Chains A and B, each alone.
Chain A
């Protein structure tokens, strides 16, 4: 998984520079935001010429799924004080998936720490490499790096799609909402709007 995140990191660095961010801006995002989907969402919207406020709001809403992960992890990790402040930065898709897959809380904590530490180092180093390399490479599309972000999202989504027809229907509705809204709303907003599909499913 470290290698895969490394590939995503290169893809993010490349995407950020292509979208018009500087190398330091790409690196600050990876160091401090440290949540790939939101970072891709912001740079994607910036690259598409979207309004910065809408782009930031969209990326933040996407980041709100980390709040939900945090809720699920709080019981497993049981961290307080400074350790909680540090652990919070590590609450992302991959660490949550690893922690929840462990048989007991001790293994979950160990899995969380190992995954967080290795991914944090990998993600930041590869972001730097991708952002820096793109200055020389030019177009990251030549290497197909623009497909890496969506492929990573699909891989995260896949086990949930396999778990039942209801989640597959939800995903299909979310795709339809986002695509239909795209011509009419600034970049970043259609993805937010797709979350409304959840309310429809929950109301049934």
Chain B
């Protein structure tokens, strides 16, 4: 499987997944189990994705101090109710500064 095939599969699949939600019969949404699942799945996936992108490297656990500091800065910005852009900028700036300071 070449990289282009993976990209094509992801593009087609992502579109199909979006369309499936819009086109699904209304009954599906009325089911309380589906509603609850719809609320919970993104929370689990996003939390896992943050952990994997910040604390793993090449298939192993790895704490990158600069990236961890950047995520911490984002959390502080969110606690202070900063706008979305400030949260992202804080993460990038703190990560970059930490890399300079830590060499």
Q: Is the CB of B92 within 8 A of A143?
A: yes
Q: Is the CB of A149 within 8 A of B47?
A: no
Q: Among residues 32 to 73 in chain B, which have CB atoms less than 8 Å away from a CB atom of chain A?
A: 33-34, 36-38, 40-61, 66-67, 70-71
Interface: A107 (CB within 8 A)? no
Q: What is the predominant secondary structure among interface residues of chain B facing chain A?
A: helix
Interface: A128 (CB within 8 A)? no
Interface: A113 (CB within 8 A)? no
Interface: A21 (CB within 8 A)? yes
Interface: B101 (CB within 8 A)? no
Q: Collect the chain B residues with CB atoms within 8 Å of residue A53's CB.
A: 1, 6
Q: Is the CB of B10 within 8 A of A56?
A: yes
Q: Is the CB of A48 within 8 A of B58?
A: yes
Interface: A101 (CB within 8 A)? no
Q: How many A-B residue pairs have CB under 8 A?
A: 305
Q: Is the CB of A179 within 8 A of B23?
A: no
A residues neighboring B (CB under 8 Å)? 1, 3-4, 7-8, 11, 20-21, 25, 28-29, 32-35, 37-42, 44, 46, 48-50, 52-53, 55-56, 59-75, 77, 79, 84-85, 87-93, 141-158, 160-161, 167, 170-175, 177-179, 182-183, 186-187, 190-191, 194-195, 197-198, 201-202
Closest A residue, CB atoms, query B93: A144
29 examples of A-B residue contacts, CB within 8 angstroms: A4-B83, A25-B7, A29-B7, A39-B10, A50-B59, A55-B6, A56-B9, A60-B10, A71-B29, A71-B34, A74-B23, A88-B19, A91-B18, A91-B21, A92-B18, A144-B94, A144-B96, A147-B92, A151-B70, A152-B87, A153-B46, A154-B78, A160-B42, A174-B44, A178-B52, A179-B52, A179-B55, A190-B48, A197-B44
